[in-house]
């Protein structure tokens, strides 16, 4: 069980890795097939006299192939087969949804980082433009302070 949990931890740490996603799916399938086969061997030993036959049946059931050539004969075996079917469908659905969710989160995170980088670059360009405009306004302001503003010519009025 610790191997299975390590596989999922690795996948959670690097959800964009197809290798880790595949390992998570394959590990879950193998775990389900082996546990199902053990339980079928214990609860329906007449239908599955050896582990190989129980393994083959469980593999068919988990993968939803179900050739129909191998079915449990006893009531407990049929109940267990039904449970294996439902658990495998539910587990596959949950794992697939989880993996899909992690892929989407990873892609979303990458997009957010790219957008953040774009926004940072845009803001830097705007700040640079504003700084240049501020410098130009300062230059204009200083040049207008040094020269007196043009006004009416008072010498012509007093002479007149």
Domain ranges within the chain, ordered by starting residue: 2-108
* Torsion angle in degrees (nearest 10) through CA of 89, 90, 93, 99: -120
Query: DSSP readout, 108-129?
Result: HHHHHHHHHHHHHHHHHHHHHH
pLDDT (0 to 100) of residue 155: 56
Does CATH place domain 2-108 in 1.10.287.70?
Answer: yes
pLDDT (0 to 100) of residue 14: 64
Phi–psi pair at 147, nearest 5 degrees: -100, 135
pLDDT (0 to 100) of residue 157: 55
121-127-130 Cα angle (round to 5)? 145
The answer to whether 66 and 82 are in contact (CB under 8 A) is no
Name which of 67, 56, 5, 2 is nearest 33 in CA terms.
56
Name which of 88, 103, 105 is nearest 22 in CA terms.
103
22-69-75 Cα angle (round to 5)? 95
The answer to whether 99 and 25 are in contact (CB under 8 A) is yes
pLDDT (0 to 100) of residue 95: 76
- Each residue's pLDDT expressed in tens, for the chain with a length of 160 residues: 576 677 667 666 665 566 777 777 788 888 889 998 999 999 889 888 999 999 988 888 887 777 777 788 888 888 888 888 888 888 778 777 877 877 788 788 888 888 888 888 888 899 999 999 899 988 888 887 765 656 665 555 555 4
pLDDT tens digit string along 42-60?
A: 988 988 899 999 998 888 8
């Amino acid at each position: 069980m610790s191997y299975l949990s390590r596989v999922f931890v690795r996948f959670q740490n690097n959800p964009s890795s197809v290798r880790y996603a595949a390992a998570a799916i394959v590990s879950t399938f193998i775990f389900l097939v082996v546990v199902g086969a053990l339980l079928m061997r214990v609860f329906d030993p007449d239908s599955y006299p050896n582990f190989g036959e129980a393994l083959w049946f469980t593999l068919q059931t988990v993968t939803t192939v179900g050739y129909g050539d191998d079915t449990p004969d006893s009531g407990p075996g049929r109940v267990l087969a039904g449970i294996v079917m439902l658990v495998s469908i539910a587990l596959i659905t949950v794992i697939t949804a989880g993996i899909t969710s992690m892929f989407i989160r990873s892609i979303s995170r990458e997009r957010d980082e790219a957008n953040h980088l774009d926004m940072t670059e845009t803001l830097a360009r705007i700040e640079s433009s504003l700084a240049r405009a501020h410098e130009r306004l300062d230059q204009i302001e200083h040049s207008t302070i040094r020269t007196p503003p043009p006004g009416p010519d008072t010498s012509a009025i007093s002479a007149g």
